[in-house]
Structure 1
Amino acid sequence: MNVVIPLFNDWEAVSLLLERIREVVDRSLLNKLAFLIVDDCSSTDYTELPKGVGQSLSILRLYRNVGHQKAIAIGLSHLASLPDQFPTIVMDSDGEDKPEDIMRLIGASEQKPNHVVFAHRAKRHESLTFRVFYEIYKTVFRLLTGKVITFGNYSLIPGPLLRKLAHVSEIWNNYPGGVIRSRLPYTATPIERGRRLAGTSKMNFVSLLMHGLSAVSVLMDTTAVRILLFCVITSGISAAGIGVVVYLRFFANAYVPGWASYLVFSFFIVILQAFLISLLLVFIVLTYRTQIHFIPAKQYSDFLERVEKVY
């Protein structure tokens, strides 16, 4: 079984994570684990990593920093290029994905074979501000895409699905969103999120916003249709408002205040904006469908500097 761990400068945390895995994972399973750390062009390097954790530990060195999601896609694509395919666990390097829950992912996978199993975040330990914005992100994601996303990267991919997932272009932007877009079967099991083992989180408001936008972008078609329907509804309400004012002004013996003309003009501006947004969306979707998409399985090697074998 493979374990993919994307990493950027979190060498202390990943060392503690490996030690924790050695402590809590059953020995029979531990001896089958092959760790793959995807070094996202870190500016620092490890001084020492724990030895003898699992059957092997390798580091994928990247030419440049590509971000967390792309690092995951590169790691999965590298494993998909190997002759044999094994179940693969994706987990963060900071320890917030608890090693104790690996068995729970495996158990859920046994109950639903050939499903990608995600860890549904039943409880989080971040600051109140972060949790509030995260809830806003989930709400906006549901409104724009019609999908519910309550999970992150912590997951288990069955061996037969690994190559299929590596050919899904959307995982390059957002791994969980790419799985949703791929229409591969997936499920989620409730798992409490842990606490960072060392260092400070690199996730801030800007990175959370970019992560949310990347998740929405992989479901561009659905998002565009929903925004288009919203524009149509808004235009219909505005047109009805204009009709009411015109009726009261010319066909009913009712007093029409002087600001009614400004109200009609405002409704007209709303209709014009809705039309322009709809037109822009149509062109964006058509462009998206005609362009050549990035396939991680075919192009990941362009970012791969070397594979470093630790043990």
Structure 2
Amino acid sequence: MPESFVIIIPQFNDWEALNLLISKIDTDLEPSILQNTTLLIIDDCSFKERTQPFSAFGGKEIKVLRLYRNLGHQKAIAIGLSYAAENLTADKVIVMDADGEDDPADINKLAAKSLQTPGKIIFAERNKRRENFVFRFFYVIYKMVFKLLTGKIITFGNFSLVPKERLQNLVRVSEIWNNYPGGIIKSRIPYDSVLTDRATRLAGESKMNFVSLVLHGLSAISVMVDTTAVRILIFSICMSGVAIGFIVFIIFLKIIGNATPGWASTLGSTLMILMLQSFLISLFLVFMVLQYRSQQHFIPAVHYRDFVEKVDTFS
């Protein structure tokens, strides 16, 4: 029996690009995949009305799940996954963007890779990026900071395939509510990747600005805040050790009489204050994380229904 697929596509006021994407899905997907595919569109409370009918789709059906309020891309994905896990029967669930930068032809690669490595989430890893130099420069910095603070490497975004045996695990990972790929890394659900090239936007302009990109990067780091906090504390202790070394050296210079009057005491007290501040702030952050871990978390599979206004089906 052929495998069944659900493609989850979150969108916000991007109906034109979405329609073009549906046409590309209809053209680029292998027939054996297409005819067993359901499109699940997560309408993130768009204020622009859809003025054109959906493009012809050769799969099973198109479902539009509308949210009560705008929640953002990551939360819309978490709600789509939770709805699919509870209400749709599928062997594989695909997550992709509505703007067309995730090439539908790469779904065939994800499906083929999933057959080779069953039981793993498969991500589309970017082989090369088409963005401008400034974006690519800050993206490299983001990956370095992510590795430094979390000890993990992130080379992928939302475009991915989730097998049914992992879907129920995934929708109970509270961290995907904040950041989908970061939540999967944190959850230790096994994953793999395939190399893909980023396509170009099909219509309209990107709604992501510099501030949005920074917040997105910070959200990925925040899902592993416990590891980040401990690493910051260790760094603070190391820097405190360096500061103490300098203070000892300053005292030595003072004793042998080579220190400039007033300079040694000023520098020594400044170093001591900075050392205590960094250590106490880091310690406070660690205790905040420990307190957070003891609280009840938002579970997408349990709480997603609070945000669903309605679900429409188009054959």
The TM tier, using the shorter chain, reads: over 0.9
Q: Does residue 257 of structure 1 match 2:269?
A: no
Structure 1 equivalent of residue 285 of structure 2: 281
Corresponding pairs, count? 309
Following TM superposition, by how much is the alpha carbon of 1:195 offset from its aligned partner in structure 2, in angstroms? 0.5
Distance 2:97 2:183 in 1: 18
Deviations 1:90-145 (A, max 9, x none): 00000000011111111111111100000111111112211111111111111100
Q: Percent identity?
A: 53
SS in structure 2 opposite 1:53? coil
Partner of 1:270: 274
Find out whether 1:205 has 2:210 as its counterpart. Answer: yes
Return the match for 2:235 from 198, 212, 230: 230
Q: For residue 86 of structure 1, report the CA deviation from its aligned partner.
A: 2.3
Is there any run of 5+ residues in structure 2 with no aligned partner, and where? none
- The whole-number CA distance in structure 2 between the counterparts of 1:54 and 1:45 is 24
Q: 1:121 aligns with which of 107, 122, 126?
A: 126
Match of 1:3 among 1, 7, 14: 7
Aligned to 1:34: 38
Retained in 1: the 8 A contact 2:233–2:279? Answer: no
User: 1: CA distance between counterparts of 2:105 and 2:56?
Assistant: 20
Gaps of 5+ in 1: none
1:93-112 to 2 correspondences below 5 Å: 93-112=98-117
State the alpha-carbon separation in 2 of the partners of residues 264 and 200 from structure 1.
54
Q: What does residue 55 of structure 1 align with? A: 60
Deviation at 1:29, TM superposition (A): 1.5
User: TM-score by structure 2 length?
Assistant: 0.95
- The Cα shift of 1:87 comes to 0.7
The 2-side partners of 1:282 and 1:106 are apart by 41
> How far is 1:305 from its partner?
0.3
Contact 1:171–1:178 (8 Å) recurs in 2: yes
Work out which of the residue numbers 212, 220, 223 in structure 2 matches 1:215.
220
Paired position in structure 2 for 1:195: 200
**Any conservation in 1 of the 2:6–2:90 contact (CA below 8 Å)?**
no
Counterpart secondary structure, 1:99 = coil
Contact preservation (8 Å) 1:59, 1:309: yes
Which deviates more from structure 2 when the two are superposed, residues 131-140 or residues 219-228? 131-140
CA deviation vs aligned residue, 1:160-214 (integer Å, no higher than 9, x gap)? 1111100000000000001011111001111111110000011111101110111
SS at match of 1:195: coil
C-alpha contact 1:19 1:53 (8 A) present in aligned 2? no
User: What residue is the counterpart of 1:162 in the other structure?
Assistant: 167
**Cα root mean square deviation, aligned:** 1.1
Looking at structure 1, the residues matched to 95 and 88 of structure 2 have their Cα atoms a distance apart, in angstroms, of 20
Aligned residue in 2 for 1:82 = 87
**For 1:83 and 1:22, how far apart are their aligned partners in 2?**
20
CA distance in 2, matches of 1:276, 1:161: 41
Contact 1:85 1:160 survives alignment (8 Å) = no
What is the DSSP-based 3-state SS (H/G/I as helix, E as strand, rest coil) of the residue aligned with 2:124?
strand
- The alpha carbon displacement at 1:254 in A equals 4.7
**Structure 1 residue runs of 4 or more that deviate by more than 6 Å after TM superposition:** none
CA distance 1:66–1:286, shift in 2 (3 Å): same
- What's the offset of the Cα at 1:284? 1.3
The answer on whether the counterparts of 2:22 and 2:57 sit within 8 Å (CA) in structure 1 is no
Matched, 1:152 2:157: yes
The alignment's TM-score, normalised by the length of structure 1, stands at: 0.97
Aligned-partner Cα distance in 1 for 2:91–2:136: 35
Contact 1:37 1:58 in 2 (8 A): yes
Q: Is the 8 A contact 2:120 2:189 kept in 1?
A: yes
Contact kept in structure 2, 1:18 and 1:53, CA below 8 Å: no
Write the distance in 1 (CA, Å) between the matches of 2:88 and 2:205. Answer: 38
| CA apart distance, 1:24 | 1.5
**Range with greater deviation from structure 2 (127-136 or 200-209):** 127-136
Q: Which amino acid aligns with 2:242?
A: I
Aligned equivalent of 2:176, options 132, 157, 171: 171
